């Protein structure tokens, strides 16, 4: 194994350690160090914020790639799938029907520009 390969594997191991430590830090903290109030409520929204941060660039890239031509935007499945996900999640007040609706639209229209 070359030095470059070793550096890549060390970087991956380091990233895994940092992610595991930061995601599990509140599990191992004593009860009196646990976040309370606004911090606790804000941490409940962190997974949703991460999902939005991952999907929003792909959706906007799909829109920007075809411009604002309405027919072309609706043939690229990313925007309709995102809208269906949001609508179903809001209607059922649960993420799982939203994910199912978004996946159905994505597969129904096709992957389009991706």
Query: Is the pTM for the entire model greater than 0.75?
Result: no
Instruction: Give me the mean pLDDT over the 66-81 stretch.
Output: 72
- Please report, for residues 44, 52, 78, the alpha-carbon distance to residue 84 in angstroms, rounded to integers and kept in the order given: 23, 14, 10
Half-sphere exposure for 14 (CA within 13 Å, toward CB): 6
Q: How high is the mean pLDDT of the chain?
A: 81
């Amino acid at each position: 194994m070359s030095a470059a390969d070793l550096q890549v594997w060390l970087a991956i191991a380091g990233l895994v350690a940092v992610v595991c430590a930061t995601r599990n830090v509140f599990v191992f903290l004593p009860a009196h160090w646990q976040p309370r109030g606004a911090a606790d409520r804000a941490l409940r929204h962190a997974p949703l914020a991460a999902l939005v941060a991952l999907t929003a660039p792909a959706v906007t890239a799909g829109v920007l790639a075809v411009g604002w031509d309405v027919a072309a935007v609706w043939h690229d499945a990313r925007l309709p799938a995102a809208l269906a996900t949001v609508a179903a999640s809001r209607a059922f007040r649960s993420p799982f029907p939203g994910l199912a609706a978004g996946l159905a639209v994505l597969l129904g229209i096709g992957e389009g520009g991706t």
